[in-house]
Each structure stands twice: as structure tokens, then as C-alpha cells.
A = this chain, B = another copy of it.
Amino acid sequence: MRIAILAHEQFPDGAKTALGVLRYADDEVVAVLDRDRSGHRVTDFVSDVQDAPIVAGMGDLEDDVDALLIGIAPIGGGFEESWREDVRTALERGCDVVSGLHYFLSEDEEFVELAAENGCELRDVRRPPDDLSVSEGVAADVDAEVILTVGTDCSVGKMTATMKLARDARAAGYDAEVIPTGQTGIMIEGWGIPVDRVVSDFTAGAVEEMILECGDDHDYLFVEGQGSIVHPAYSGVTCGILHGAMPDRLVLCHDAGRQAIGGYESFSLPSIPTYVDLYERLAEPVRDAPVVAGALNTAGLAEPAAREAVDEFAASLDAPATDVIRFGTDEVLETLLSSNPNR
């Protein structure tokens, strides 16, 4: 697919979805829309991702595209009216529009009408299927080894670690699949369930359903984790994924220098060993799931400090760790893909 990604006023730092898609999706990104940065290119700001021109709006895009992706999500997940013109233009040109917003484009009267007129599709990836149910506690029965990324907070790199580990495992000849649980993962992989939007009773069940769907067809499943087990608002989602996935091994993800829960600054992060202890103890009655590796986001640090931070993180985990973007995944994958005494 040839796609354009909307990221107005937020590229690259506030555009987590846009970056994820640029980095990992198989789609060809024809342009990024950011009215504050038009005239630049993606690689003026980020390396290690596919390059594309940045334009001010869909009207400036001469190439044909198959789909426009909404690549940013304001707090609350609402639709910004300043994006309407771009979505309208996309639909008028026969482009599908893919969105991970809480606001469903497929319930917007104007968009529904335009999509029908122009024979294109509105895909709200954050709308969960309506036939979900409770977990049966059987995810561990699949043939695949299940590896779950867990985090110290939101936005510490769980999705990135999941995608990079699975891709590097594949490149090394292993049969690995991703279980996408959030909107960016779903956009990248083209399937998945937005677990934070399912009925709370079905949180574990939604993850279990995805694992059962493909767990016998692969050797390794990398499950995209969400939130943090000590997050004041989102811990329920994290806990449901932990028990629903019944993982064999955990990868703890952290953002170097993060001291407090993002957006909830009165809540300090516990120590890394406390996280390891909490995740393992909480998993254990359902599934013995040791933290065997770590992924540290060091994007905010210069080179010698970044390496030191990774070493320190590995020491506090008593396990191999890396910044998956900066320092590769060899050592961590060696541990993750080694034979498992659990199996």
C-alpha cells in the first residue's frame, strides 16, 4: 500500500503512531502531513526509518495514495477539526482513511457520506470486535513460545521493542509473529485487537483469542504489552494482558531517566527490581513468566551516557538489556530464543 500519514504539529516527537508506521510497516509512505514542517523530509528529524517528504496537507500531495493514516492521537483520542479538510480531500480522491482515535470516523456523518460516494473505506482500528468473551486460561496451550513486553510506564517503548525483536528474529531465520494490542501495532501489522477499548471483563480474553488464532502456526509470538502494572489509570489493561497472554518470558521496557508516571507526576516509579518482582509474582499463579531481558529507550541521551544507562539497566535486571533501535537486539534475542526449561 502507498500511504500518507497525518501528523500535524506533532512530528516527530508527538507522533508515536506515525513513527511506528514509518519504522515498521511494509507500506510505502508517500508523505507525512505536518503543516509546521512542510518542505522538510522525515530524515531531517529521525534516522533509521523510511524517508518521505513532509507536506502541509493532502492538497499538496500530487502522487496517488491508497490510504491516509491518522498518525497522532491527542490526549482523550478526539478528532481535531483542523484535520477535517485533509480527511475530506483524501476521501474525495478515493483514499481509505485509517484511524486509531477513540472518535470513530465511521460514525462521522460527513465522512460516511464521502466514503460511500467515492467507494472508499473508513477503518477505525480502535473499535474492538463485538464477539469477544472472557478468557478460558488456555493461551499457554499453543505451540509457540509466548514473549510479552511489559513496561515501567506508558510510552516507554513496548511497541517498538515488540516490533524490532520480532523483525530481527525473523531476519535471523526464526518463525516469529507479533500479537498487536494497540492502535499503532494494529496499523503496522494490519490486524489485532485494541485491548484498551474492550469491555474490562474481556481484557484477558481478547489477548487469549489472538494467541489461539495464530499460536500453533509459529514458533514465537511477541505480544505487544500496554501501560504498566502500577499505572494509576491503566494497570487493569496491563494486568489483563499479563494473565491472558500466559507468557513464557517477559521483556521489561523502560525509558532512561523517567522518574514519575507520565502525566501523573505525583506517582514516582518504583525501582527496576521492584517492577521485576511485581510482574513475576503477579504472573506466577497463572503462569511462571520470568523477566529475562530488558529494552531501554535512550533516545534522550548522548552516546556514552546511553551505553552506560543500558549497562546499569541490565545490572538492575540481572539480565541482558539493550536499546533496540540504537544497539541492536543480538544479545537479548539470544536469551529470548534459547531453549526454555518451561517447555
Contact = CB atoms under 8 A, between A and B. Distances in A.
Interface of A: 76, 133-137, 195-205, 229-244, 246, 261, 264, 266-270, 274, 277-278, 281-282, 284-286
A338 to B, nearest CB: 27
Specify how many copies of this chain sit in the oligomer. 2
Contact of A200 (B203, B243, B269): B203
Residue of A133, A243, A267 ringed by the most chain B CB atoms within 10 A: A243
The 7 closest A-B pairs by CB, nearest first: A236-B240, A137-B232, A239-B239, A230-B285, A203-B236, A135-B233, A196-B201
A267 B287 CA distance: 9
Contact of A239 (B136, B199, B235, B264): B235
Given A196-B200, A197-B200, A230-B282, A243 B237 contact: no
Nearest to A266: B137
A282 B278 contact: yes
A199 B237 CA distance: 10
Contacts of A232: 135-137, 204, 243-244, 246, 286
A198 to B, nearest CB: 6
Contacts of A229: 239, 282
B198 A234 contact: no
Contacts of A234: 134, 201, 204
Contacts of A281: 277-278, 281
26 contacts: A76-B133, A136-B232, A137-B266, A196-B200, A197-B201, A200-B203, A200-B236, A201-B233, A204-B232, A205-B233, A229-B282, A230-B285, A232-B243, A232-B244, A232-B286, A233-B244, A236-B237, A236-B239, A236-B240, A237-B240, A238-B239, A239-B240, A267-B285, A267-B286, A270-B284, A274-B285
